Structure 1
Amino acid sequence: MNKMFLRLVASAAVAMFLVACSSETKIDSDLYIKGAPDWVNEGTQAISSDDGRLIHGVGMSAQVGDESLQKSVADNRARAEVARILSTSVDAQSGDYTSASGGVANSLVNREINTQTQLALKGVKIIGRWRNRDTGDIYSAAEMDLDQLEDAIKRAANLSEGVKAQFIKDANLQFDRFVKENK
C-alpha cells in the first residue's frame, strides 16, 4: 500500500510539473520586439532537442542606472521563471499527495523532493543576454536541463529506489508527450 501510494505521489509530481510547463508554452507568445532574438519574443518554454530536455526561462530588466545591477536583475528573473515552473509542480504535488492519502501527508517525501528540486535549480545557467537599443532593457535567458533534476532525485537519500525510478520514468514520458503535442 505504502509503495503504491509513493508511486502515485511521484506520478502526481511529474504530471503537475508538465502541466505547469504546458500552461506556459501552449500560448503563442510573440512580443513583436523588432530585432530581438527569437528567445526574447517567444519567452519561457520547454524544448526537447539534441542538446537535451531543457527549460528556458526569460527575464527582463528596465534601465536602473547601473548596467551590472541591470544584468543581475534580468538574470535573476530568468532563473525565477525556471524556478516558477518547477516549484509550481512541487507545490501542487504536496496538495495532491495530501488529498490522495485522505489528508495524511508524508512530509518527509515532500520535503526531500523540494530539497532536491532546489539543489537542481542551483545548476540553472544564463545562456544569453540581449539589450534592446531603443529602450535600454536587458533580457536574459536561463536554461535548466531536466537531467539535472533527475540526477538530484537519484541522489535523494530519503526516497526509495522505486519512487525515484517511477518519478524519472513518468518525467521522461510526460516531458516527451508534452513536447510532441506542442510542436
Structure 2
Amino acid sequence: MKVDVPAPNDKSKIPLPTLSQINADRITLLATQYWSPQTKDNHLPYDSAIVESIYQAEILGSNFSVRRIMMLEFSQYLENYLWPHYETGKASHAHMMSIIVMINEKFRERVLAWQALLKKPDDFPGFFEQVLHASVAEDHLSNNMREQTNLPLFLNHCFGSMEVQLCRDQVKRLVSLSMWISLQEGR
C-alpha cells in the first residue's frame, strides 16, 4: 500500500493571495490613504486612531496572524507610518507593540530589521525604555500570550544585534561589567 506524503517544501497549506485580493485588502486601502510611498502626495494626516485600529483588528484581532503581519510588512507600515510618527512619552501601548511586532516580523523574514529605526535614532532610547517598562509592568500585562511573547522576543533581537550601534547603546546599560569581562575575546 502506497501512501502519498507531501514534499517537505509543499507550501499548499498557505495559499498565496492573488493580486486582486491584495489590492482589495483593508491594509492595502489604509496604506494607500496614509503611508504608501506610491501615494505620498495624497496622504491623509497622521492619525493615532489608525495605529490603534490596526493593532486591535489586524494584529490582536487576528491573534498575531503571520499573514496579516506580512501584509503590514509588505505595505511598509513600520518604515512609513509607525516609526516616523513615534514620539517618546506620547506613544500608546498599541503603537509600541505594533513596532515590536513589525521588527520581529522582519527578523522572521530575515530582512534588515533596524534600517527604519536608524533614520530616526533619537527616539530609540525612549522606545527601548517603554519596551522595558511594558515587559515588567503588571498593569500592562495582557492576557494575550502572543503579546507577552513578542516583548521578550524583541528584547532578544536587541541583545542579538550588538553590532548595531542603536541596540548596543541601550543593551549595554543592562549588562554588568563582570558579564562583559566573562565574554570570549572574539565576541
Structure 2 length-normalised TM: 0.23
Structure ranking higher in strand proportion: 1
Greater relative contact order, per chain length (Cα 8 Å cut-off, separation 6+): 1
Structure 1 length-normalised TM: 0.24
